[in-house]
Amino acid sequence: GSCAVVIVAAGSGQRLGYGVPKARVPLGADPMLVHAVRGVLKAKVAAQICVAIPAQDAQLVDICQQLSNEAQAAGVLFSVVDGGAQRSESVYAALAHIATGITTVMIHDAARPLTPSGVFNRVAAALRDGAKAVIPALAVVDTIKTVIPATLPATGAGVEQVVGTPARSQLRAVQTPQGFELETLRRAYAHALTLDDQTAAQITDDAMLVEALGEQVFVVQGSTHSLKITSPTDLLLAEAMLEGPLR
Ligand code: CTP
Ligand code: MG
What residue ranges do the domains of the chain occupy? 2-133+174-243
* Residue 238 confidence (pLDDT): 98
What percent of the chain is predicted at pLDDT more than 70?
99
Please name the helix (run of DSSP H) or strand (run of DSSP E) that holds residue 87, with its range, or none: helix 87-95
Give the nearest ligand 1 atom to 91 CA.
7
CATH class of the structural domain 2-133+174-243: alpha beta
Task: Give residue 172 CA to ligand 2 midpoint distance, Å.
Answer: 20
**Amino acid 149: pLDDT:** 98
Closest CA to 218 of 127, 104, 91, 128: 127
- 12 CA: nearest ligand 1 atom: 24
Q: Beta 178-181 vs 102-109: how paired, if at all?
A: antiparallel
Q: Give the Cα separation of 48 and 26 in Å (integer).
A: 25
Per residue in 89-138, pLDDT (tens digit) is: 999 999 999 999 999 999 999 999 999 999 999 999 999 999 999 999 99
Please give the number of the atom of ligand 1 that sits closest to the Cα of 86: 8
Ligand 1 probe mutation, 7, 12, 16, 226, most atoms within 8 A of CB: 12
pLDDT category at 244 given cuts 50, 70, 90 is: confident
- Residue 197's pLDDT is 83
pLDDT in tens, 175-230: 999 999 999 999 999 998 888 888 878 889 999 999 999 999 999 999 999 999 99
Pocket test for ligand 1, best of 95, 107, 109 (most atoms within 8 A of CB): 109
d(CA 236, CA 16): 11
Nearest CA to ligand 1 atom 19: 230
Q: Say yes or no to pLDDT of 56 above 90.
A: no
Q: Which residues line ligand 1 (CB under 6 A)?
A: 8-15, 22-23, 52, 83-87, 90, 109-111, 228, 230
The residue type of 10 is A
The answer to whether the beta carbons of residues 92 and 175 sit under 8 Å apart is no
Q: What is the pTM of this model?
A: 0.96
Q: How confident is the model at residue 246 (pLDDT cuts 50, 70, 90)?
A: low
Q: What is the pLDDT of residue 245?
A: 57
pLDDT value of residue 225: 97
Atom of ligand 1 at shortest range from CA of 112: 15
Which pLDDT score is estimated for 1? Answer: 74
